[in-house]
Structure 1
Amino acid sequence: MKRMIIAISCLLIFGCASQPKQTALTLFFSPEQTSLTTEQQRKISEFLTDNPYHQLVAKVAPADLANPFEALLQGQKRIQAVSKLTNRQSIPLHLEYAPNQTADTLILQRLSP
């Protein structure tokens, strides 16, 4: 009985101490930025490591530019940069254009299993 209580206590302690896995990652870009910074690449790599067997969705907002067509092109270039990282790890990525999302953001989100 004592061993059972100790085992349950250990499970509770380690279960509560472990951090939950991140299910979404938000990246912020400057309006003219099309490639990923080193910090953004590191964050994406960590996110992909934590979610290797899940399908991900990338929601991209247009850039904060006066010309709507140029803003759309900036978003496409950002998606291509993220897609290169997911393709290297063979993780499926579903792309969504989110015009109502905050400008110059890209959200990577794990789809529910």
Structure 2
Amino acid sequence: MKRIICLLSCLLIWGCSSTKAPSSLTLFFSPEQISLTAEQQRKITDFLNQNPYHQLTAQVAPAALENPFQALIQGQKRIQAVNKLSATQDIPLHLEYAPQQTADTLILKRQ
């Protein structure tokens, strides 16, 4: 009986102490922003460090610009900035352009 209580206590303590890595990260951009700020780079790096062995998807929305072509170009430049950061850590990203998503957002998801 003592062993069972000890085992259950150990499992409870281990379960409470282990933390789960977040499964997604949402970043917001200003409409004219194409590069990552230092804070955004830090958040992405932390997310990549917490999910190094998972298949990750980066969904980027167009910029809130009146010219649809310029909005598309802004989105592509943002994808390139995130892709460069993931390439430095050798973590592959599945890149997606998400025009239905809220404008000026980027979502990193673990699959």
TM-score range relative to shorter protein: over 0.9
Q: Which amino acid in 2 is paired with 1:49?
A: N
Which has the higher mean CA deviation after the structures are superposed, 9-18 or 42-51? 9-18
Matching of residues 31-110 of structure 1 within 5 Å = 31-110=31-110
What SS does structure 2 have at the residue aligned with 1:34? coil
Which letter does structure 2 place at the counterpart of 1:21?
A: A
| Gapped regions of structure 1 (runs ≥ 5) | none
- Supply the distance in 2 between the matched residues of 1:14 and 1:69 (Cα, whole angstroms): 52
Relative to the length of structure 2, the TM-score reads 0.94
Which residue identity lines up with residue 50 of structure 1 in the other structure? Q
Measure, in 1, the Cα distance between the counterparts of 2:25 and 2:14.
25
Q: Secondary structure at the match of 1:32?
A: coil
| Deviation of the 1:93 alpha carbon | 0.6
Deviation, 1:3, is 3.0
User: For residues 39-83 of structure 1, what are the alpha-carbon distances to aligned partners after superposition, in whole Å with 9 as ceiling and x for unaligned?
Assistant: 111100110011001111110100000000000000011011100
Q: What percentage of residue pairs aligned between the two structures are identical?
A: 71
How many pairs does the alignment contain? Answer: 111
- Aligned to 2:15, the other structure's residue is in SS state helix
C-alpha separation in 2, matches of 1:58 and 1:84: 12
Instruction: Give 1:19's aligned residue.
Output: 19
Instruction: Give the Cα–Cα distance (whole angstroms) in 2 for the partners of residues 83 and 63 of structure 1.
Output: 18
TM-score (norm 1): 0.92
Deviation, structure 1 residue 16? 2.6
Which 4+ runs in 1 deviate beyond 6 A? none
> In the aligned structure 2, how far is the partner of 1:11 from the partner of 1:76?
47
- Which whole-Å CA distance do the structure 1 matches of 2:35 and 2:7 have between them? 49
Deviation at 1:85, TM superposition (A): 1.0
